[in-house]
Structure 1
Amino acid sequence: MLYHFSEEDNIEIFHPRKHPSFSDRPPMVWAIDDDRSPLYLLPRDCPRIGFWATPETNEDDREKFLHTTTADKIIAIESGWLERLQRTRLYRYSLAPDHFIMMDEGAGYFVSYETEQPLKMEPVGSLLEALVKRDVELRIMPSLTPLAEQLPKTTLHYSMIRMKKR
């Protein structure tokens, strides 16, 4: 199963759309796999950085970035987004994987070039509770900039979303 998260609760059909970051590609419908779906349990426009260890992560990086947590993933947001996180209503649309192809294995992105009909839609409920249930540690930081500058120098897996809108 693949998922699409939205603040809209009335999407009956997903029509392929052009993506500004991929202007050379035809219109697409985007979906995410279950493992990376916690990265989307946030308001749509919220800048965020998710990071976690992989088998290739060295001990120095584990000690520096993960030594105080037992969480599977860490997602950092800026403190200015906390109130919006607490009041945002989010919906998870389930999509059949039949027409989707992997676009980015590291990010868990899948795309379809066809119109897609969701199999079901369900409200996420409290986003904080949803993150906790997925074993995510939420870090609320004054600024994401220092973390964004450090992570590319590590052996951690990371994903930076909506960082261009800063």
Structure 2
Amino acid sequence: MLPGPGEVLHLSEDPAIERFVPHVAATARQPEAYVWSVDALNAPCYWFPRQCPRVCSWGDGVDRVHAVEDAWLDAMRTTRLYAYRFAAADFEPFGDRPHAHVATRPVSPLGPPDEVGGLVRLHDEHDIELLALPDLEDHFADVRERGLEFSGIRLGNAGIGPAGPFPTRR
């Protein structure tokens, strides 16, 4: 599930959003209110349950790899995710090396959301290796040491699966 030309996506577990209003996300590192979206490069980093910690990496001549804790595999298989399409012109790149795009005013999707389908299957269809690891710490350190492009999302939830706390392995 990727955006088409001139589009960006917002991926959500909620299939009933009709209008997106800027807000300050609970995990935000900035005080401004935004509607967040992603482009084709970054959309695969959101093919996960919302709270799932993950490390996504890629680079020149290196296959794309996404890693999750094995405690999240069942949620990867059962979560229903929806893609909302927006006109890219309604959004601006966020930051110097944009990983996301933001709108500072309310925006409406181009149409009803598309159900993304099986998240594990989606990775396979796009030739993205999906690793399930006991924990993400060593993998994330390796990705950074190798100088790969990466995105680490919801890492504060590492060690916590969808059913509650799991022991953190250190």
TM range (shorter): 0.7 to 0.9
Shift of 1:20: 4.1
Higher helix share: 1
Per the alignment, residue 65 of structure 2 pairs with 74
What RMSD, in angstroms, separates the aligned Cα atoms of the two structures? 1.7
TM-score (norm 2): 0.82
* Structure 1 runs of 4+ with >6 Å offset: none
2:22 to 11, 16, 24: 16
Query: CA, structure 1 residues 18+138, in 2 after alignment: closer, same or farther (shift >3 Å)?
Result: same
Q: CA deviation at 1:104?
A: 3.8
Partner of 2:133: 141
- Residue 39 of structure 1, aligned match among 41, 45, 48: 45
RCO greater where, 1 or 2, for CA within 8 Å and sep 6 or more? 1
Q: Is 1:156 matched up with 2:156? A: no
Cα offset, 1:21, TM superposition: 4.8
User: Residue 69 of structure 1 corresponds to which residue in structure 2?
Assistant: none
Moved more, 18-27 or 29-38: 18-27
The whole-number CA distance in structure 2 between the counterparts of 1:105 and 1:34 is 18
3-state secondary structure, aligned to 1:8: coil
Distance in 2 separating the partners of 1:35 and 1:23:
22
Percent identity of paired positions between Structure 1 and Structure 2 = 30
Aligned residues: 151
Q: Which runs of 5+ in 2 are unaligned?
A: 1-6, 159-170
- After TM superposition, list the pairs within 5 Å mapping 1:16-165 onto structure 2: 16-22=22-28, 24-54=30-60, 72-104=63-95, 106=97, 108-120=99-111, 121-165=113-157
